[in-house]
Amino acid sequence: MQRILFVCTGNTCRSPMAEALFRAKAAGSNFEVRSAGVAAFDGQRASDYALQVLAERGILHDHQSRRLNEQLIQWADLILTMSRGHKDAIHGFYPQAAGKVYTLTEFANADPNRDIADPFGGSLYDYQKCAEEIDHLLDRLYQKLIQAHTRES
């Protein structure tokens, strides 16, 4: 079982969408997925637009935000952030996690200097474009992880 943690700022937009999208994509595979935020307040719902975008894709996600903590850092085998700033924050607060923290774009072999824009406060269209970008990167991520697992077997 490989444990993947998606991280953004408030854990109400990008990382919950990534969590739900990847969970749906990898259903039946050997992955466990969670999300957290570097500045999240525990127990908040995902944003209405994030939930709407997921529902448009046939995914229901009963999300409760959680703040990134030592327990989640230890739980995760791989930590994927939505921005370089999130990655830097994790390195600062949890230097022991350095070997397993990447931006999603970096790990998916896309542009490592590109962040996934935060749709918070934006329109439904902003959330749809964000989800589309994340989903494309998750396709690449899933293929990379499956290939790595096949090579190990």
Q: Are 75 and 97 in contact (CB under 8 A)?
A: no
3-class SS of residue 6: strand
Confidence band for 152, pLDDT divided at 50, 70 and 90? confident
Q: Which of 8, 13, 34, 66 is catalytic?
A: 8
Percent of the chain clearing pLDDT 70 (strictly above): 99
Find the Cα–Cα–Cα–Cα dihedral 99, 136, 86, 79, rounded to 10°. -30
- Confidence check: pLDDT of 153 > 70: no
Q: How far is CA 71 from CA 5, 74, 150, in A?
A: 12, 5, 29
Q: Which of 88, 115, 118, 139 is catalytic?
A: 118
Nearest to 108 by CA among 85, 81, 68: 81
Phi, then psi, of 101 in degrees rounded to 5 = -110, 125
Q: Domains plus CATH for the chain?
A: 2-152 (3.40.50.2300)
In the residue annotation, 118 being an active-site residue is answered as: yes
Q: What is the mean pLDDT of residues 34-43?
A: 98
Condensed to tens digits (0 to 9), the pLDDT of residues 117-138 reads 999 999 999 999 999 999 999 9
In the residue annotation, 8 being an active-site residue is answered as: yes
